[in-house]
Amino acid sequence: MPDKILVFYGSYRADRMGIRLADYIVAQLKARGAEPELIDAQAVGLPMLDRMYKEHPKGQAPAAMETLAGKIREADAFVFVTGEYNWGVQPGLKNLTDHFLEEWFWRPAAIASYSAGRFSGVRSGTAWHPILSEMGMVVISSTLAVGPISQTLDDKGEPTGDAGKSLAKAFPRWADDLAWWTNAARVQRATQAPPY
């Protein structure tokens, strides 16, 4: 059974560079036999958080929220592709994730960060780790950090230059880590119901 992996991307900027990394991850996971799906926060278009999904009466959540809740519940694992905004997390991605809570529980999450500069978004990746843990996910220890993004992936999401070679070299370990935890969580959920 292929792993169902949701790949979340959260930039709302007009000239989005991080979509290159999201597209690369989707393509590479697919090549490994997984079933990844890109969830673009901009395309989903949830409003600024007013009410969480669980705060809507059953069957009365906005259609986009209801659809995404179902996809999150059915997923085996998650990938969060995050840019770094002033040493912090992207507001679009944070807003999207905050609409849900219990739907995330008991599944692994991986972080891939990027930036236009040499720090590769690592401060954002570091900030996401406790956020995702608090939201009930097991965050894998391997990370991808890409920067400068424009020198790592071309506009088709293909690795380019030395930075692209570094990404291609780092990806398998990161993906193996995610696959191991995805399988471990699946086996455990089938063996024993979560404690809450």
Cβ-based burial of 106 (10 A; exposed 0-12, middle 13-18, buried ≥19): middle
Within 14-158, strands assigned E span 35-40, 77-83, 108-114, 138-146
Mean pLDDT over 17-30 rounds to 97
Segment 130-156, tens digit of pLDDT: 999 999 999 999 999 999 999 999 999
Amino acid 118: pLDDT: 83
Amino acid 155: pLDDT: 92
Amino acid 103: pLDDT: 97
CB atoms within 10 A of CB 93: 26
**Which is nearest to 5 in space by CA: 84, 64, 75, 109?**
75
Amino acid 85: pLDDT: 85
As a whole number, the mean pLDDT across the chain is 95
Amino acid 92: pLDDT: 95
Amino acid 105: pLDDT: 97
Lowest-pLDDT choice from 13-22, 70-79, 176-185:
13-22
- Please state at what angle helix 19-31 crosses helix 161-191, rounded to 10 degrees: 60
CB atoms within 10 A of CB 132: 19
In this prediction the pTM is 0.96
Confidence of residue 48 (pLDDT cuts 50, 70, 90): very high
What CATH architecture applies to the domain 4-191?
3-Layer(aba) Sandwich (3.40)
**Distance set, CA 53 to CA 46, 73, 99, 120 (Å):** 11, 12, 6, 32
Amino acid 119: pLDDT: 86
- Helix H or strand E segment including 9: strand 4-9
Mean pLDDT over 164-184 rounds to 97
Distance separating alpha carbons of residues 128 and 37, to the nearest angstrom: 20
Amino acid 195: pLDDT: 87
Q: Where are the domains of the chain?
A: 4-191
Mean pLDDT over 164-174 rounds to 97
Segment 81-128, tens digit of pLDDT: 999 888 889 999 999 999 999 999 999 999 999 998 888 889 999 999
Q: Are 149 and 20 in contact (CB under 8 A)?
A: yes
Amino acid 144: pLDDT: 95
Question: In the numeric block, which tokens belong to residue 58?
Answer: 């059953």
